[in-house]
Structure 1
Amino acid sequence: MKKSSVLNIAACFALLFLGFLPMANAQKAVPVFENGEAQIVPAFNDPEKWIRHDLWVETEFDTDGDGKPDRMHVDVTRPFQTDTEGLKLPIVYESSPYFAGTASLADGVLWNVKHELGATPPARVNPTVTRRGERPIISNSQIKTWVPRGYIVVHSSSPGTGLSQGSPTVGGDNESLAPKAVIDWLNGRAKGYTSPDGNEEVKAFWSTGKVGMTGTSYNGTLPLAAATTGVEGLEAIIPIAPNTSYYHYYRSNGLIRSPGGYLGEDIDVLYDFIHSGDESKRAYNNKTVRDTEMKNGMDRITGDYNDFWAGRDYLNDMGPMKAALLMSHGFNDWNVVPEHSLRISEAAKAKGIPTQIYYHQGGHGGPPPMSMMNRWFTRYLHGVQNGVENDAKAWIVRENDPNDKPTAYADYPNPEAKPVQFFLSKGAPKAGGISTKRSANQGKETLVDNYSFSGATLAQAEVTEHRLLYVSPVLTAPVHISGKVKVSIKLASSKPAANLSVWLVSLPWTEGRNSKITDNLITRGWADPQNYKSLRESEPLVPGKFYEMSFELQPDDQIIAAGQQIGVMIMSSDREFTLWPAPGTELTVDLDGTSISIPIVGGTAAFEKAVKE
């Protein structure tokens, strides 16, 4: 063949080859976005082809006393294209102390709450946890949601749980530094290994370095814990019902209080509940953490705030935080009460961090709508400019609405809500009244503590000496409450210590009045009168002497329907939450020295209009 012919044939083949290049590139799987949301990509949606493996990431701490940095057990689930096509993707990451199993809450594990205030409680039983799970899978959470949409999903077990080394500390620094180390590894700044003690390294070559964290309850706390380290690469977090302060979880205004549904739980109980790590290290961990640090710091006698609790409050650690925050919580969550989310979201907004909050009317858990989460991660992990940062700052699920149809508001609390001060008028042992106008010389009224009666029973009682109840006129129009109710009370106790519990209720009590709210509780709160001056220093009450104190109830956003009455109920022990001292303590309330401030949309004018006949 002539040289020119060979060249022409070669040129044809070259053009043909180059012609196929765009087609070959077009066949590569990439994330797809529509309307600012990541879409399911069929090429990513074949579980049989997902690559799943595990590893151990080295941290900067040693909490199990073996002289070596603790390593965290991590699993990875990613599309196969991250191996075959050089695809790099962002990460959705969930960490937990629960993945490897938990202890039984058998008799004796929880603290016995039936004793006098200030008394040393009887000893409790320390359970053990049998680890569950098989490598390489730590958890299957998040995977079916996010991998098909162009993300890699990563899980890790918290220190001292599962196959992660170290010790649980329940809010200690290592629980922040552990997920930080994983995020550092995803960005090439920390080392990962194929085994807990070996030297064969694993690289996250498939990671873009952009990480978003989410999870519910404890799993929702850990994204915040990681964010407070300021770690580079953690771009966004979606905590769902997170515990943001262990003091606020186990205490209220100086009062020893259990989380709803777990009467007698305290921080050492939770430590035992999650301690599923290496059995050979548990004795050391128990001695140094549970039996020393926690025993000396938790103070189940006075309930006072101290440095132990301050070190487990993420509000105190928010200086370095910069991850965009989408917070989610239920207004009727009495396990992790709703103040946990509000206190952090308010601090994040004050720092200028992109922040949104989603509240629903249900109980513990409940993520934001999938579309909202998708937009959040799409914006901050994939970098798609979908304008989510310009969306409404607050999303509230209204009564009877489905959770995926929240109403948008400019902020929470509702900016149109104004504090309305209410005063009490006498009526015990029946119901007295509340009014925006003060009536002088209402005197004093007394209740007798008796833990045998639940708050719901007392709210429905027509006549009882075990609570004081003050109600508004019947509403002729709806009243929208949004924010935190504040109680200012002047009271005396017949004993040196007493529980104090306050409920805001909607009456008459009608079980199951809508699909989201199963009773007429609006909100509630608890306090120890011994802490009337200081949260850090309580003092015994002088029987018969009157003391003044103020505290807030849990935040809420609820529309009280026409035909209802708003009631303030004051009692001593709250059967589902507080200690159970012997019945008989008397609390006397000075009505002229007591008031309650309720945030109402439209302020005093709106309330007055709603009670006109």
Structure 2
Amino acid sequence: MPIATRFTRTRSRSPRNSSLRSPRWGRLLVVAVAAALTALFVSPVGAQAARAKESRPVYSYENAIRESVWVDTRLDADGDGRTDRVAVDIVRPREPAQQGRKVPVILEASPYYSCCGRGNESQLKTYDAQGHVVQMPLFYDNYFVPRGYAFVAVDLSGTNRSDGCVDVGGSSDVQSAKAVVDWLNGRARAYTTRTGTQRVGADWTNGRTGMIGKSWDGTIANGVAATGVEGLKTIVPISSISSWYDYYFAKGASLYDSGPDWLSNYVESPDARAHCGAVQQKLVDGAPRDGDWTPLWTGRDYVADASKVKASVFVVHGMQDLNVRTKNFGQWWDALAANGVERKIWLSQTGHVDPFDYRRSDWVDTLHQWFDHYLLGYDNGIERAPMADIERHVDQWSTDAVWPPTGTRDTVLRPATGSAPGVGTLGLSRAPAGSSETFTDNPALDETSWSATVDKPTPEKAGFVTPTLTKDLRLSGSSKVTVTATPTTTSAHLSAVLVDLGPDTIRNYGGAGEGILTGTDRTCWGPSTTGDSSCYKVTSADKKAVDYTVFSRGWADLGHYTGDTGQPLNPGTPYTITLDLHASDHVVPAGHRLALIVAGTDKDLIDPPASTPTLTVDLAHTWAKLPLVGGTGAFRRATTGTPPQVAPHLARPTGVSVPQTGSRVPGER
């Protein structure tokens, strides 16, 4: 789920925490300290210090107010006859409160604070003997509290010190955090203890709230923003879900061998485990493994409510995230754009990784500017900066004024037969009527196996390849592949992948760190206390030389060809279905080729069907709709003329092995 532990592709689901080089946002002086604890903040220097409008670390972190309150959610998910209260731990600067000045809030709501940890080092909340929070995971409190922000960390219902039940993206999850935003704005009640009657207000804040989080945490930010709650000014969802159906299924094809009940059980507190059986059963009953859309998924589809979003949105996602797959950011981004939401995006070559662990200094600086603008109201120009930062090569970033860039147009490319069975062409011309390719599903093989043999006739896939490109060809956004196929059995799954055929060095997203390596030295991002260090292990890129790169993929159960409800197939009958390929931004360079591969089960990325079908693809009624920068004209220009010379392919084609996800959790790392 959005929080998976490490990319060990086990079939059990565990969470992962995690989490431009143009223009440079400014430098933060990063001080490595031998002693992990320092109470004195080291001020930033360089370009950042030159900015006239920025919050400065003028308040004491060591003397900050640390307190806990329990906010009434107005729900009774566990059915005990009293409304559930969620635990809210707060760190805020003491000086503004003494001076009668109010501060804005940075809020993270998470189910992981006691079970699984946050960040690359899996930090947990810790408490002293009186129950006051000592350690807040991540750097947000260390860095932003001295700059005049409060940091608020919410235990989702049914986790850590909160009442209620975990309902995995449903009303209880979302209301856990929304109720806190309401309380910060004077619209909800909070108490000094979990069961007491002494009420407490939030007179220390101006109510202006920004939510941030990776995986499940960022997913809750999406969900709260989709309620349109007043006071929520911005959200920063990192590697986050926009529709929970699309976390578990792709057009009816199961992406995991477990459902939301597994995830709920993974994170819930002992109290919730003892009292939330009815909620668990609803998760089981409402999410059948047949991949059908049910009312449970409707209640967890934030994309449908994008028109309610009033907050600005800073989306961050790894383009090779095979935990929270990139369809989730793509459809959310498109819906936000359609509704005129102010937004920004960073896309990296990593998997399910926090930008703090692949672009640390730039990330902290950009996030600082973002919150300063949307929560403090500083006119620092962040909203006028380029909308998109894309990691084009390892640690090399490009920017776009808007994303997808101006001139991006959906372009229809069509497969056709080639010189050998299963080895076809990809171009603008429609295949003649009656043209077909046939393959047999082989659940033991995956997209890397298909890509390595794309130029060879093999029985498990059909591959279609452009000529060697004479100019770069850029794809930016979400693609679709429509397939008309005739199965030999009553069930069948389909996969479609886009591949850049040519040598490159990329982040090893299939490695244990999903594109990063963790070192031993530390850098510090604010002051520390005895129980809460601001110093984190440095990271670097985990690189791999490859001969091809799979950069977008999508899947479907052919039995869902009519829509939300699947049905048995009639062998020998053709069916047409459209696969949603995952959003990406990739340049296939001159000298490389673009390939479309259509096959059956993509091992470890979808579960196989009940049968082992052979499928015949009608090429005249099969096509790919790709968002190409420059549209059809760009494709024509890239496929004519004399291609440049490039380094020869490796003796044995290699790519990145697909990491095993199995039962995953949205958010670890």
TM-score by length of 1: 0.83
Given the superposition, is the C-alpha separation of residues 85 and 455 from structure 1 closer, same or farther in structure 2, using an over 3 Å criterion? same
1:136 corresponds in structure 2 to 132
1:273 corresponds in structure 2 to 266
1:35 corresponds in structure 2 to 51
Number of residue pairs matched?
Answer: 539
Question: Which has the higher mean CA deviation after the structures are superposed, 324-333 or 246-255?
Answer: 324-333
Q: In the alignment, does 2:93 pair up with 1:82?
A: no
Q: CA deviation at 1:89?
A: 1.2
Instruction: Select which of 444, 458, 464 maps to 1:452.
Output: 444
Q: In the alignment, does 2:397 pair up with 1:399?
A: no
Given the superposition, is the C-alpha separation of residues 407 and 507 from structure 1 closer, same or farther in structure 2, using an over 3 Å criterion? same
Q: In the alignment, does 2:344 pair up with 1:356?
A: yes
Structure 1: how far apart are the matches of 2:350 and 2:125?
31
Aligned residue for 1:271, secondary structure, equals: helix
Q: CA deviation at 1:581?
A: 4.6
The answer to whether the 8 Å contact 1:414/1:483 transfers is no
Question: Which has the higher mean CA deviation after the structures are superposed, 595-604 or 495-504?
Answer: 595-604
CA deviations over 1:347-371 (Å, ceiling 9, x no partner): 2333333222222222223348333
Given the superposition, is the C-alpha separation of residues 36 and 408 from structure 1 closer, same or farther in structure 2, using an over 3 Å criterion? farther
Instruction: Select which of 505, 509, 530 maps to 2:559.
Output: 530
1:115 corresponds in structure 2 to none
Instruction: Select which of 306, 320, 330 maps to 1:332.
Output: 320
Letter in 2 for 1:305: W
Instruction: Select which of 385, 394, 407 maps to 1:416.
Output: 407
Letter in 2 for 1:79: P
Q: In the alignment, does 2:280 pair up with 1:290?
A: yes
Structure 2: how far apart are the matches of 1:238 and 1:132?
21
The answer to whether the 8 Å contact 1:132/1:162 transfers is no
Structure 2: how far apart are the matches of 1:140 and 1:280?
23
Given the superposition, is the C-alpha separation of residues 583 and 308 from structure 1 closer, same or farther in structure 2, using an over 3 Å criterion? closer
1:22 corresponds in structure 2 to none
Q: CA deviation at 1:583?
A: 7.5
The answer to whether the 8 Å contact 2:125/2:137 transfers is no
The answer to whether the 8 Å contact 1:70/1:166 transfers is yes
Letter in 1 for 2:136: S
The answer to whether the 8 Å contact 2:489/2:612 transfers is no
Q: In the alignment, does 2:370 pair up with 1:379?
A: no
Matches within 5 A, 1:503-522: 503-508=497-502, 512=506, 520-522=549-551
Instruction: Select which of 532, 538, 547 maps to 2:575.
Output: 547
The answer to whether the 8 Å contact 1:37/1:375 transfers is no
Aligned residue for 2:393, secondary structure, equals: coil
2:177 corresponds in structure 1 to 179
Q: CA deviation at 1:81?
A: 0.9
2:19 corresponds in structure 1 to none
Q: CA deviation at 1:184?
A: 2.0
Q: CA deviation at 1:223?
A: 1.3
1:14 corresponds in structure 2 to none
Structure 2: how far apart are the matches of 1:484 and 1:188?
41
Letter in 2 for 1:528: D
Q: CA deviation at 1:102?
A: 4.2
Matches within 5 A, 1:15-414: 35=51, 38-41=54-57, 43-44=58-59, 46-102=60-116, 133-134=126-127, 135-137=131-133, 139-141=136-138, 142-258=140-256, 264-276=257-269, 279-286=270-277, 288-291=278-281, 293-300=282-289, 302-367=290-355, 369-402=363-396, 405-410=397-402, 412-414=403-405
Structure 1: how far apart are the matches of 2:628 and 2:113?
42
CA deviations over 1:184-222 (Å, ceiling 9, x no partner): 222233222221001223332321211111011111011
Q: CA deviation at 1:280?
A: 4.1
Q: CA deviation at 1:133?
A: 4.3
The answer to whether the 8 Å contact 1:497/1:540 transfers is yes
Q: Which runs of 5+ in 2 are unaligned?
A: 1-47, 118-123, 356-361, 509-540, 643-669
Structure 1: how far apart are the matches of 2:439 and 2:337?
42
Aligned residue for 2:334, secondary structure, equals: helix
Structure 1: how far apart are the matches of 2:589 and 2:306?
39
What is the percentage of aligned positions where both structures have the same residue? 33
Q: In the alignment, does 2:462 pair up with 1:468?
A: yes
Q: CA deviation at 1:429?
A: 4.3
Structure 1: how far apart are the matches of 2:394 and 2:231?
39
Structure 1: how far apart are the matches of 2:614 and 2:336?
42
Q: CA deviation at 1:254?
A: 1.8
CA deviations over 1:250-283 (Å, ceiling 9, x no partner): 011122223xxxxx2421211111112xx34423
2:417 corresponds in structure 1 to 426
Q: Whose RCO is larger (CA < 8 A, sep 6+)?
A: 2
The answer to whether the 8 Å contact 1:177/1:229 transfers is no
Structure 2: how far apart are the matches of 1:531 and 1:56?
45
Instruction: Select which of 481, 488, 496 maps to 2:482.
Output: 488
Q: CA deviation at 1:67?
A: 0.9
Q: Which runs of 5+ in 1 are unaligned?
A: 1-31, 104-130, 259-263
- Bigger radius of gyration, 1 or 2? 1
Aligned residue for 1:299, secondary structure, equals: coil
The answer to whether the 8 Å contact 1:506/1:564 transfers is yes
Structure 1: how far apart are the matches of 2:463 and 2:602?
15
Structure 2: how far apart are the matches of 1:610 and 1:246?
38
Letter in 2 for 1:486: K
Q: CA deviation at 1:328?
A: 1.5
Structure 2: how far apart are the matches of 1:507 and 1:457?
13
1:111 corresponds in structure 2 to none
Letter in 1 for 2:132: P
CA deviations over 1:558-606 (Å, ceiling 9, x no partner): 1111221111111101111222357742111112221212222112222
Aligned residue for 2:596, secondary structure, equals: strand
The answer to whether the 8 Å contact 1:505/1:523 transfers is yes
Structure 2: how far apart are the matches of 1:511 and 1:326?
28
Q: CA deviation at 1:172?
A: 1.1
The answer to whether the 8 Å contact 1:36/1:375 transfers is no
Q: CA deviation at 1:157?
A: 0.3
Aligned residue for 2:183, secondary structure, equals: helix
Q: CA deviation at 1:557?
A: 0.8
Given the superposition, is the C-alpha separation of residues 605 and 132 from structure 1 closer, same or farther in structure 2, using an over 3 Å criterion? closer
Aligned residue for 1:503, secondary structure, equals: strand
CA deviations over 1:146-196 (Å, ceiling 9, x no partner): 112221111010000000000000011122222121122222332222210
CA deviations over 1:366-389 (Å, ceiling 9, x no partner): 348333322221122112233433
Aligned residue for 1:318, secondary structure, equals: helix
CA deviations over 1:397-455 (Å, ceiling 9, x no partner): 323344xx541232x22221222222222245452111212342562221111111222
Letter in 1 for 2:551: I
2:659 corresponds in structure 1 to none
Structure 2: how far apart are the matches of 1:512 and 1:298?
37
